[in-house]
Amino acid sequence: MLNYKLTTLPNGLKLITAPLENTKAVTVLFLIGVGSRYENKNLNGISHFLEHLFFKGTKKRPKTLDIAKALDAVGASYNAFTSEEHTGFFVRAASEHFELALDILFDMLYNSAFLSEEIEREKGVIVEEINMYQDLPQSYISEVAKQLFYGDQPLGWQTTGLKETVQKFSREDFVSYRDKFYTPENMIVAVAGGKNNVSWQEKIQEFFAKVEAKRKEEYLKIKENQTKPGLKMHFKKTDQAHLILGFRTPARSDKRRPVLKVLNNLFGETMSSRLFTEVREKRGLAYYVSSEMADFQDTGIFGASAGVDILRAKEAVKVILEEFNKLKTKDISAEELKRAKENLKGRMYLGLEESFAVAEFLAEQQLFWGKIEHPEEIISKYEKVTASDIKKFAKEYFVPKNLNLAMISPFKNTNEFEKILERF
């Protein structure tokens, strides 16, 4: 069993400590319950931009280089990430440098200078990041799919924001947004790794003692009113057609999530999965092909993604749709089901070998579910999934009113793809 302790400080901050044996490394992770879906239209992209700005200097460490030098001097690994529903900052270092890691992360989040010249300079960096993703169809197809599934709602907007929006942000926007969302009640601090002679809990309490509690902000609930298959074609001169073909699925909290996890594994998560075997190995239609879940607090997407020869794009869509249909019409063998469960079990344990993975595993559960389950509890839920459960789920959700196809390609006429979807 994974050994951890959950403590709630008087100001609402959730602190998770997980001492690990046989390691001299430690990860300090700050996870905040804010992301692009908490933004309004004028501030689209500010969560991601703010993540960048936190590295641009504080009162104590005025320049980016000061932060980098302090961490590089002890061989630390550090980074940050922004999604639709959370933002994270972490430092991995030798256990003896726990206090330095904590001090720098806290300093960045609560004492950042937000200098106007740094903001203006970083606008150029963000714009180039947006350009980079738009030039990478394999990555940008996810944004096209979100636009198709959720339209003009925060979940349908780009996490990076649009170039014209990003260039209008002011210092006041960043300070206000930070003060609104980077509050103790909206934050998890997780520490995992080898212990040193310092009490993790006491040190964190010292840092956060004067940070005041504030009311946690809510996100805008998603509106979904799809009634027939949807299609969004993003025109780009490419040699491949990059696609995501998927369905609307339940929210992250749905009790059938273990069913979808097992389904996903056997369908397209591995090199022996149905999609990989049928699309790549048997037919040579794609180099990359897989399936994945994107689940949120009030909705979800399950889809297959692939990059295929533009001359065989229609064939690829038909083949993938047929694989979805088989989940509804044909029984899953006991052997295939067992293999998927064992794979998930192995992935779970392999994924928790390193301190960052443990910190993230614990913090994300607490942030998204308000509770933490041990790996064994999660695996137990996978074990209970039956072939009948998977077929029942597929019949309920893999239907025309939930179906969407997003594609980046040089195609201008979408009629033939629309007809393929209509026949599902």
The CATH number given to whatever domain includes residue 125 is 3.30.830.10
CA 339/CA 238 separation, integer angstroms = 37
CB within 8 Å of 184: residues ≥ 6 apart: 9, 11, 12, 13, 208, 211, 212, 213, 214
Same domain, 199 and 246: no
**pLDDT at res. 255:** 97
pLDDT for the residue numbered 213: 87
Catalytic residue list contains 51: yes
3-state secondary structure of 301: strand
- pTM assigned to the model: 0.95
208, 243, 269 — which closes off a domain?
A: 208
Would 216 be classed as within a structural domain?
Answer: no
Q: Give the mean pLDDT of 397-420.
A: 97
Sheet with 87-94: strands ordered across: 5-8, 14-19, 187-193, 25-32, 87-94, 77-82
Mean pLDDT of 216-232: 92
387 with 272, same domain: the answer is yes
Whether 325 is in a domain gets the answer yes
Are residue 275 and residue 203 in the same domain, yes or no?
Answer: no
pLDDT at 305: 98
Confidence of residue 1 (pLDDT cuts 50, 70, 90): confident
- 298 and 154 inside one domain: no
Q: Kindly indicate the confidence band of residue 216, based on its pLDDT and cuts at 50, 70 and 90.
A: confident
Task: Taking residues 95-106, report their average pLDDT.
Answer: 98
Residue at 217 is within a domain? no
Residues 183 and 326 placed together within one structural domain of the fold:
no
Identity (one letter) of the amino acid at 120? E
Annotated active-site residue in 39, 51, 85, 118: 51
Q: Indicate whether 225 belongs to any domain.
A: no
Check whether residue 247 and residue 157 sit in a common domain.
Answer: no
Domain shared by 200 and 237, yes or no? no
Q: Is residue 214 part of a domain?
A: no
Is residue 215 included in any domain, yes or no?
Answer: no
Return the half-sphere exposure (C-beta side, CA atoms, 13 A cut-off) of residue 257. 17
Give the pLDDT band (50/70/90) at residue 238.
Answer: very high
pLDDT exceeds cutoff 90 at 392: yes
Interacting residues of 381 by C-beta distance below 8 A, sequence separation 6+: 258
Domain match, 311 and 397 both = yes
pLDDT, residue 218, reads 83
Structural domain ending residue among the three candidates 208, 243, 265: 208
What is the count of structural domains for the chain?
Answer: 2
Element (H, E) at 246: strand 240-249
The per-residue pLDDT of the chain, averaged, comes to 97
* Residue 214: pLDDT over 90: no
Same domain, 313 and 346: yes
- The average pLDDT across 322-330 equals 98
Domain ranges, residue 242: 230-422
pLDDT at 215 over 90: no
Give the Cα separation of 15 and 8 in Å (integer): 6
CA distances from 18 to 78, 87, 114, 146, 263 (A): 19, 21, 33, 35, 31
Cβ contacts of 413 within 8 Å, gap of 6 or more: none
Q: Give the orientation angle of helix 334-351 with respect to helix 387-397, to 10 degrees.
A: 90
Same structural domain for residues 262 and 190? no
Q: Is the pLDDT of residue 341 over 90?
A: yes
Question: 262 and 380, same structural domain?
Answer: yes
**Does residue 394 form part of some domain?**
yes
**pLDDT, tens only, 164-211:** 999 999 999 999 999 999 999 999 999 999 998 899 999 999 999 989
Q: Count of H helices and E strands in the chain?
A: 16, 11
Q: Which residues of 8-18 are buried (b: 16+ CB within 10 A; e: fewer)?
A: ebebbbbbbbb
Q: What are the pLDDT digits (tens) for 27-73?
A: 999 999 999 999 999 999 999 999 999 999 999 999 999 999 999 99
Averaged over 372-396, what is the pLDDT? 98
Residue 196 lies in a domain: yes
pLDDT given for residue 217 in this prediction: 81
Pair (121, 156) in one structural domain: yes
Rounded Cα distance between 265 and 274, Å, is 9
Tokens 């959950």, located at residue:
6
Q: Average pLDDT for residues 117-146, to the nearest whole number?
A: 97
The residue-averaged pLDDT of 114-120 equals: 96
Neighbours of 95 (CB within 10 A): 19
Q: Give yes or no for a contact between 166 and 45, defined as CB atoms under 8 angstroms apart.
A: yes
